[in-house]
Amino acid sequence: MKLAVYTSIPDDELTEFLTLYDIGDLHSLKGIAEGVENSNFLLVTDAGPHILTLYEKRVAEEDLPFFLGLMQHLAEQGINCPQPVPMRSGKFLTRLAGRPAAIISYLDGNSVTRAQPDHCHQLGDSLARMHLAGEGFLLKRSNALALKDWRPLFQYSEERADEVLGGLQNLINNELNFLEENWPGDLSAGIIHADLFPDNVFFLQGKLSGIIDYYFACNDLFAYDMAICINAWCFEPGHAFNVTKARALLEGYSSVRPLIDDEYKALPILCRGASLRFLLTRLYDWLNVPPGALVTPKNPTEYISKLKFHQSVKSASEYGLDGVTA
């Protein structure tokens, strides 16, 4: 079950909006279920299909030049990602239906519902290429959901955490203490995607055809991006860890950008942090469903289970790969 909520666009505003672009006349506009944070439409004009995005409240308007600029930069570096379509004015960003709006190129392909090891291998390869391609991008954006933000975020949910699972408040406080004391500070950093879930990766005839949804991208540790992917791609529906997929992911990544030994050794703690980050946002959303909400939040227990798995990991070799660090 998926969900798309979107702002409706008055006819006359849409017509005026399209005159700003050199993409011909409107054929059709359909709201699509893609990306949770924004309203996305498939916009077909004389120039073919595009994605029209209206940026909703959860995306900070001042971050949009970073996100759109990053997509353009990555595309120029040969990464298969959507890129913003310029207006006749040369700019990317305008307003539509009261919201910031941009037209983004359409990417062929389809996300997989049941990732196989080969998908994970290709993902690792593309993730490493993206990390390398981000290097020349001049804008910076700090991670708004980094280690220092987790404790303040937890304060909104702390008192009610045990409603979700007995002992959860203690579990999270202890984990925050551990992570704050042991988080690695000196690993390679750069542009990371920071939300690389299967929904955001397209495949076409079995080949990775593109990566979308850069609206959490930021500057942070490369290996933390890998940890997010391990969590999002390498667990089975019953929450069992699939070491074959993790090995494929790490091998794919290492074939392009070998992890250095310190990055590799830090994987267990980075995976714990990545688990806690998604546990905390899901816990917050779960406990704070607004009345009449159109969105059913994701259950946070999946990430409790992932966190506990990584707490039990004794060394990075349990992720299935040894001896391929640089």
Interface residue list for a copy of itself (CB under 8 A): 1-12, 25-34, 42, 44, 108-110, 112-114, 202, 204-205, 292, 294-296
Q: How far is the CB of 103 from a copy of itself (least distance, A)?
A: 16
- Three-state SS at 210: strand
Q: Encoding tokens for residue 151?
A: 């404790």
- Please identify, using beta-carbon distances, which residue of 10 and 167 lies nearer to a copy of itself: 10
- Please identify, using beta-carbon distances, which residue of 44 and 256 lies nearer to a copy of itself: 44
Q: How far is the CB of 171 from a copy of itself (least distance, A)?
A: 26
Query: CA 17, CA 23: separation in Å to the nearest integer?
Result: 11
Q: How far is the CB of 49 from a copy of itself (least distance, A)?
A: 8
* Nearest by Cα to 21 from 127, 128, 101: 101
- Please identify, using beta-carbon distances, which residue of 138 and 294 lies nearer to a copy of itself: 294
* Nearest by Cα to 45 from 23, 22, 30: 23
- Please identify, using beta-carbon distances, which residue of 44 and 324 lies nearer to a copy of itself: 44
Helix (H) or strand (E) holding 101: strand 99-105
Please measure the distance between the N-terminal and C-terminal CA atoms of the chain and give it in whole angstroms. 42
- Please identify, using beta-carbon distances, which residue of 31 and 69 lies nearer to a copy of itself: 31
Q: How far is the CB of 105 from a copy of itself (least distance, A)?
A: 13
Q: How far is the CB of 234 from a copy of itself (least distance, A)?
A: 17
Q: How far is the CB of 135 from a copy of itself (least distance, A)?
A: 30
Q: How far is the CB of 82 from a copy of itself (least distance, A)?
A: 13
Where does residue 167 fall: left (phi above 0), alpha (psi -120 to 50 degrees), or beta otherwise? left
- Please identify, using beta-carbon distances, which residue of 19 and 113 lies nearer to a copy of itself: 113
Specify the residue for token string 């995306």.
59
Query: CA 57, CA 119: separation in Å to the nearest integer?
Result: 33
- Please identify, using beta-carbon distances, which residue of 10 and 136 lies nearer to a copy of itself: 10
- Please identify, using beta-carbon distances, which residue of 20 and 44 lies nearer to a copy of itself: 44
Distances (CA, A) of 27 to 11, 36, 87, 99, 292: 13, 25, 19, 22, 34
| φ/ψ of residue 43, rounded to 5 | -110, 115
- For helices 222-233 and 117-133, the axis angle rounded to 10 degrees is 160
Contact 96/38 with Cβ under 8 angstroms?
no
Query: CA 130, CA 70: separation in Å to the nearest integer?
Result: 11
Q: How far is the CB of 2 from a copy of itself (least distance, A)?
A: 6
